[in-house]
Amino acid sequence: MAELGRLANNIRCDIIRMLEAAGSGHPGGSLSCTDMLVALYAGGVMKHDPQNPSMDERDRFVLAKGHAAPALYATLAHMGYFPVEELKTLRKWGSKLQGHPDCNLVPGVEVSTGSLGQGLSISCGMAAGLKLAHNPATVFTILGDGECQEGQVWEAAMFAAHRGLDNLVAIVDRNHLQIDGDTADVCDPGDLAAKFSSFGWDAQEIDGHNIDGLVKALSAAKADRGGKPKVFIAQTVKGKGVSFMENQAGWHGKAPNAEQAACALTELSGVEGGEAHHA
């Protein structure tokens, strides 16, 4: 597990470097969902093959909160979907790494996202399609907590439960912040586990930075075909790993300058295996 922690730390460093080079982008929500991506892609939860990104039996992943693209790109690059070297082209003319994920450019990206509220519906369609095809693969998706203010999320939640999509596992990155401030102040999403549960989902709270715990819980959720879709409300810290970004709404969509990036990288390089985060 220390290895996964180191990977998460490397990905966080890449996120900082990419955003600094791009001069724009979303650090806060990228850093808050990094550990879940590591658990899914590197922790053995998802069946996937970087050499064969379209293999039929792969598990699917949809980044509903598409603005966390830097975290997904860095994860895919470290997994071998494309060279890590390309990360520095983020948001630049001619790059495959668009500001939000483009499935026609990036190997491993199943569908283009960026407009919030749509990912869960798309995941539902994929899960339904896999069932039609008797394909045992699982669909994973990461939503933002602010994203749950979109009404379509609840259209999808109703549909998934009605159809018994037990091959669907959602994770809500509950970092409690959105562009305009605390989610509780902007328009309170409230008790998301209770909400999903009342819609007919198996809902659990989880520590979104404990990679070991995430791997175990997500693997169990993947194996469970009890007739219900599953959701984890992952408690996270926006900007996780960079002290001056943590819990600051202002770092939702702002890139660090050279000095801030250097400071962030120094902090991240001092973290032993990433495990210190979990304490």
Chain positions contacting another protein, by CB under 8 A: 60, 102-104, 110-115, 117-118, 121-130, 132-133, 135, 151-152, 155-156, 158-159, 162-163
Separation in Å, CA 221 to CA 142, 189, 201, 236: 14, 24, 12, 19
Closest distance of CB 253 from another protein, Å: 18
Question: Phi first, then psi: what are they for 140, rounded to 5°?
Answer: -110, 145
Q: Least distance in Å: CB of 120 to another protein?
A: 8
- For residue 114, the minimal CB distance to another protein (Å) is 7
* CA dihedral of 226, 65, 172, 60, whole degrees rounded to 10: 30
Please say which residue, 57 or 182, places its beta carbon nearer to another protein: 57
Element of type H or E holding 214: helix 211-223
Nearer to another protein, 152 or 247 (CB): 152
Q: How far is the CB of 6 from another protein (least distance, A)?
A: 33
Minimum CB–partner distance for residue 164 and another protein (Å)? 12
Task: Give the C-alpha separation, 155 to 178, whole Å.
Answer: 22
Q: Which helix (H) or strand (E) is 143 found in, with range? A: strand 139-144
- Residue closer to another protein by CB (options 22, 130) is 130
What CA–CA distance (Å, rounded) separates 228 from 224? Answer: 9
Write the DSSP symbol of residue 147. Answer: G
State the minimum distance, in angstroms, from the CB of residue 124 to another protein: 5
Token duo for residue 43 = 């922790």
Query: Which is nearer to another protein, 30 or 121 (by Cβ)?
Result: 121
**For residue 34, what are its two tokens?**
């990094």
| Alpha-carbon gap, residue 25 to 18, rounded angstroms | 9
Backbone angles phi, psi at 272, to 5 degrees: -80, 105
Taking the complex as a whole, the smallest distance from the CB of residue 172 to another protein amounts, in Å, to 18
Q: Which lies closer to another protein via its Cβ, residue 133 or residue 220?
A: 133
Comparing CB distances to another protein, the nearer of 123 and 260 is 123
Identify which of residues 72 and 264 has a Cβ nearer to another protein in the complex. Answer: 72
Residue type, 88: K
- Look up residue 246 and give its amino acid: E
